[in-house]
Structure formats: structure tokens, C-alpha cells
Structure 1
């Protein structure tokens, strides 16, 4: 079957859930590059349909003059670095495209002129608190790189430097995030055997960090990147009908299941303060909302939410305020334990009636909020709606990862020994290969 590039996806406005700030990697074309710079579309390198290697080769064969320092410019009002496509960050890195933007700063794709390879550079805002956070992230990345000799678990730090009052962190260039892939695939879920492989790698990365006494605190599909951007097109059996023999009902799957963790800007050491709010809303553990303090288990709650999203195509808890979030948890997982409710801090007491029962639906802010909660099924039913096999094992694993009490929640290495991962590894030897075999047998296609 032919191989395609994710960068070829047709843009469709279909984002169903608000985010702190939309990603730019595939959505917004970069600024028009100078004539001597290879053309870049949607954050992906394209030179007359060529690969990255072709792009780099063509760049050096055009006789581009040696890089010169760009003119000095004031930062924008938020402290972001202002640049133009084709300029350099130090004489070594030439900017090819803008890949993304967040509260921390911007990410740009650059050509490393010294090593002749494409890299991703995180340009941190010039404000003091972001510079300090960047230095902490660099410390974490260096610790991870020192312990992860194979470089297969977390994104690799290539270099870092301070440029015009902006900390710049140089990373290996990876593919799209799992969230981006889902969104560009019309939120069609991944096959369960691919979810199994993603989950295994994710838990191995989390266990690796926990062994180093590090807590990620911001695990979400946006922070799990595919190593490769390549994908393949396969029939989508959920939409396949006898009349649709032309293959129009199909979906895309990544050609490689290899993933890596990114974004260690919020990573915390075990000995640091654990009483402030962490995690992106949809993946935030109950102990964080209740103000009970948090530790390693908050990462495992996030992993459970991610696995549900990969299976269903949508975030499990699509909410933006605490009471509704807790009501959704109770709808999906059952009542919160009384001993956690009683220990909730003063800020969380207002979410409960007489300190015992969740103030729901009485405290709902709108009828729309109530409908959002009541439409959610129980966890078992939700999994059964989307998983064709291994549903029982997956439900049992999720019940261990999504236990309210962090002391009872599965640890990363315990989760890796769960039958959900062990049974099919014995059956197939490698889960993704098992899925390939299924496609070949069902549709007469081979990969």
C-alpha cells in the first residue's frame, strides 16, 4: 500500500474541544519563505513532494550565502521572539517554519547547518518566570538523556543556548502528536491493538521518569508525539458497507507505532512542593481538584484518561470547571470516597452539600452543563461501545488507573504487568503486527 505524509491532510474545521491555544503545526501555513529557502507547508517540509533529505540536499546545492545575523527587533507585547522565515538563530540554525505556540513561547522547525538535519527549537518567552522554567526543563531533559541511553522514551535534547534574552532549546524533530493525529483523522479512534502498543510505551516512559523520582504532571495526547509523520490509509470497518466498495470509507493510521514523551516544562521532582494545581484540565486527577496534594499517581490518572481517548476518539472529561468535572467523574466511575471528600481543602468544600454529597445537579451553572454530565455512560459501557476485543482486560486496567484514591491507584510498573498488555504480547509477539494481520485477513490488503 502506498505511503503518504501526514502533511498532506486536507484541513477541516472539526476541533470539538476548546484548548488553551490552538496548535499551529498543521493548521496555519507559515509565512512565505524567501526564494532561496525550500517551500514549507503546514509545518511539514515539502519540496516538490520530496522528503527531508531531498530538502536538505537541495538547500545546499542552491549556493545559499553564509548565514548572517537577523536585524534586532523588539519582542512582541507578550515577550515572544519576533522572527521571519529564512532567518537564523545564531549562525547555526536557519528557521524553516513555525510549528506551534503556547504560553511558554514558540516552536520553530530549523535546519541545523552544522549537522545538516532538521530540528525543532523551542524559543521561550523573554519573561523571567519562563526563562527560569526553561532552565528547570533543561535540567530535567539532561537527567533524562543521561539515564535513557537508547533515547527511545523521551524527546532528545540536542542543544540549548541563550539568544537575545530568549532561552532556545533544540530537540530532535518528531512527528505529530496523538491528539493532532486524532483530530486530523476526524476523531476516529485508534484500533485496540495500536492503543495497546501506545499504552505500553507510555507507561514505560512514565515508569522510567518515576524511577528517576520525576513526575511529569502534564500527560495528555498533545504531549505524546509519534516519531514518524508517515501514515497509511486502511478501510474503516465501522463505516464500511456493501455499497462502499470503492474504499471511500477509510481512515488513516500511523505507519510506525513508536512514540515519545515531550514537554517537561511542568515536570516536578519528588522533594518539591506538591500542593499547587497541575495537569491540563481534562487529565487532572481528583486529588488535585480536591486540594489533597499529589504525587506520582497523578500521572497514572492522566494515562487512564489518555487510553480512553485513544479508544473513543474524544476526551473522557470534556469540562472547564471543577464541580462539573467532579460530577462527570461520579457519572463515569461512581461516587467519590467519603474519606477524600472529608479531607478536601477549603477551596473545594463549596462543591459538596453539608460536606458529604456532591452539590450536583443543584450547583450546576446551566442546563447545558447538566446535559454534558448526564450524557456520559459508565466506564464499562463506554469501553464496550468502542472496543471490539480485549474490552474486559481494558476495563479492568482502566479501573486500576482511574481509582479515586491515589494510594490504591496502579503504579506504572504494576500496570505494565496487567493482562491487557501481557495476553496479546504472548498471542502476537508484537501488538501492532497483530493488527496488520487482522487488516490483511479482513480486507485482503497487505502492508
Structure 2
């Protein structure tokens, strides 16, 4: 969960992404083969078609091979993370195979479901109360989505959940890497525009579906969009065609399938709930959130616009860690902020402006490095043209609709899906590696 509560407990980890990401090589390890283990019974909250079924401990009986013993009790680490060892069981039902990731919420482990003999991903939430509460919200949202989305094609599917040693554990289907991880492991090389079109279409369909259910995700970012499959293919990189074939830069990896699913609903909010606190991870945060004007469905669409730019370029559009610099980057890429939004900014945001609606920039910059980071950004049109060959005009027009400052004028998800970028020449420019 990436929600930042203003008064109570701001997250210092939300803005940790470096301004310039380290360049890494493709390093996806081969999947671990499942170990043949005798199935055992486990009592928890089994989720079937979105509904949970209670299995109480006193009603469970097991006959046959004894089930694995629970690991020794250990104290959580200083941050409330569960301490584990690979090979142990997480409850008698799940054998820990590896660690898949870690975030502010807790950890994600790859586990073998000993009852169904399938590999799953288990999100182990930190034992702190605010994260436990967010986990219960996520479970509620996931079950609502599972009921509404019968196909199960838009969102990660919840399999089970249970409370283990004061940690809420949510069992998910195991999917492929996130779009961010794919970019990172591929040295941040951009996706071809036809793949961006397919990913964007699916993302907007998922957002539109949530909005129809009166749900706002509030934390859309490449880390929270997972490819369904880990399979990839190696293709020539047109940006490096002049290099020797012996140079690894001559090739880049692309997903074999463009199918994606949304994850992380711990900060998802209903339309009728309080919308006064700060939401979204820094790089994808809408201007109305920074200015303290309140937020609603349009904040998700701003995030979608930032994501599409990142998929086309390989780099986050606004790589910043501070509000004033963030607003200066917006003005550099998109033009000046509307005066009617500036004059309505709350007291905490007034300090970012001087002489009326003028942004206090570069006078208020914290460093010369910050000024240079803003100055080097191109206008949105030029940025897209640097990375996109065909469809650039349509994409620029779509992004200008998604990245409108005024949330009341921003494209809605359904409107964006009807944009020419998604419907013009779709047959001609389909992503050829889709399965």
C-alpha cells in the first residue's frame, strides 16, 4: 500500500526511486520446479468465485502422512516484517520456495500450496495495525472484484487469506513480473508502441471497470501492473542496429504475451469515503493531490498517462522526490498550472507559489541539481516524438487528455478507450507476440 496519510503517518519510502535508475542486464532466473510433496489440510479463509468459506480449526481432521510442523516462533524484525527461512512452511499448508519482493506493506513469497500442489504468491503484511487494516480493505476489494469480474482477466485472483502469527497473509495466483521489473531487467529499454497500445487498452479497461464499481485504485504504477506470463522473446533493438551483433545491446527482450493484471488494492478507496489525504506514489501523483484540492476518479487517469509515457520512453516521466520540483517538472512538460487551481491550493501548498499564480521556481529550488533536472525535460510532444515512430500524433493527443491539470476536464477511462490511439489502424498495428 502506498497511501500517505498527511497528519498521522507519512511514508518516507514512497519517493525512494532514484532520479536515474541503475542500468541492469536481463536477469530473470529460471522458475523453480515444484517439489513433490504429500498434500496436507489447512484451515483458513478459502476464496471460491469471490466468496470466502470458513474452515474452523476445531472441525479439521487429518488422516495419513503427518503434515509439516510449524517453524519455530521468531520475533518480527524491527519494522514488523515476518522473519522466515526458505523451505519452512507458512502455516502447515504452504511451503516457502523463495522471496519474490518487498514493499512498505510487507513481503511477497513464492510458495507451494501443498493441498492443491500449485505455486502461489503470498503477501505477508507487516504486523503493524495500520497495515493489517489496509490488508483487510484489500481482501474486501479483491473479493468484490472477483464477484464482479467473472472472467478473472483484469485483476490478480485471491485464492485464500489467513492470519498467521499476527500477520495477515493473502494468497494470490502466481503471475509474471511487473512492468517495472520487466523494464528494469531489460536495461530500461522502451516497449514498442504497438505493445504500449495493448497494455494501455487493458489498463484503461481495468480502471474503467473499477470506476463503474465506485472504486478508485489510487496507486496505479508499473510496479502494480503484472504480466500474466513470465515468458519473453529476444528481438533486435532498432536503436542499436549499427552495433555489432556480438554486442548484447543489439537485442532486447519483449513479453511473449501482452496480457496484464492489476494488483495492490490496499489503498483502494470507495467514492463515498474521505478523499482529503495524499495518495499515489510520487511519480504518478496528480496535481490536485499535491495542491490539496481533494481527488476522485481522475487521479487514476493522471497515473495512467504517466505510465504510458514511461512504457514508451523507459523512464518515469517525473523522476522527483519533492513537491515544488514536481510542479516545476509538470510546468516544463505540460505548460503552466491553471490559475483557478493555484488560487484554491490549500495552506500547505501556498508556499510553492509567489507573486500570485507564479510557481516559486527556480528561486525556491533546493539545489542546482534540481534546477538542471527540470531544465533538461522536453515538452510532452517532443518527448513522445523521441521514442515513437508511427501513432505519435494519436498518442500525444491521448496523453494531453489524460494529463490535463484540471481533473474535471481530464479524460475518463471510457472516453480514453474510444480515443483514435486505440481504435485507428488497430488491425494494422496489432502486437504480434500476443497469445
Q: TM-score, normalised by structure 2?
A: 0.86
Summarize the Cα distance change of 1:375–1:185 in structure 2 as closer, same or farther, 3 Å threshold.
same
Contact 1:99 1:108 in 2 (8 A): yes
Alpha-carbon separation, structure 2, partners of 1:235 and 1:354: 52
User: Mean Cα displacement is larger for which, 320-329 or 352-361?
Assistant: 352-361
Task: Give, in angstroms, the shift of residue 45 of structure 1.
Answer: 2.7
Matching of residues 342-353 of structure 1 within 5 Å: 342-353=343-354
Summarize the Cα distance change of 1:278–1:60 in structure 2 as closer, same or farther, 3 Å threshold.
same
Q: Deviations over 1:112-167 (max 9, x none)?
A: 01111000001111111111111111000000111010000010000000111111
Alpha-carbon separation, structure 2, partners of 1:187 and 1:427: 27
Q: Which residue of 1 aligns with 2:204?
A: 203
Q: Which residue of 1 aligns with 2:379?
A: 378
Give the 3-state SS of the residue equivalent to 1:96 in structure 2. strand
Contact 2:287 2:327 in 1 (8 A): yes
Summarize the Cα distance change of 1:432–1:267 in structure 2 as closer, same or farther, 3 Å threshold.
same
Matching of residues 254-403 of structure 1 within 5 Å: 254-403=255-404
Q: Which residue of 2 aligns with 1:136?
A: 137
Q: Which residue of 2 aligns with 1:432?
A: 431
Contact 2:28 2:185 in 1 (8 A): no
Alpha-carbon separation, structure 2, partners of 1:381 and 1:421: 21
Q: Which residue of 2 aligns with 1:220?
A: 221
Q: Which residue of 1 aligns with 2:114?
A: 113
Summarize the Cα distance change of 1:336–1:274 in structure 2 as closer, same or farther, 3 Å threshold.
same
Give the 3-state SS of the residue equivalent to 2:349 in structure 1. helix
In structure 2, which of residues 13, 34, 42 is the aligned counterpart of residue 56 of structure 1? 34
Contact 1:216 1:266 in 2 (8 A): yes
Contact 2:37 2:114 in 1 (8 A): no
Summarize the Cα distance change of 1:19–1:137 in structure 2 as closer, same or farther, 3 Å threshold.
same
Higher relative contact order (CA 8 A, sep 6+): 2
Alpha-carbon separation, structure 1, partners of 2:120 and 2:385: 41
Contact 2:16 2:321 in 1 (8 A): no
Q: Deviations over 1:48-77 (max 9, x none)?
A: xxxxxxx2365569xx97411111111112
Contact 1:304 1:398 in 2 (8 A): yes
Gaps spanning 5+ residues in structure 1: where?
A: 1-16, 21-25, 28-40, 47-54, 437-446
Summarize the Cα distance change of 1:416–1:222 in structure 2 as closer, same or farther, 3 Å threshold.
same
Give the 3-state SS of the residue equivalent to 2:348 in structure 1. helix
Task: Give, in angstroms, the shift of residue 44 of structure 1.
Answer: 5.5
Contact 2:38 2:114 in 1 (8 A): no
Matching of residues 4-153 of structure 1 within 5 Å: 18-19=16-17, 45-46=31-32, 55-56=33-34, 58=36, 66-153=67-154
Task: Give, in angstroms, the shift of residue 105 of structure 1.
Answer: 1.0
Give the 3-state SS of the residue equivalent to 1:183 in structure 2. helix
Runs (4+) of structure 1 moved beyond 3 Å?
41-44, 57-61, 245-248
Q: TM-score, normalised by structure 1?
A: 0.84
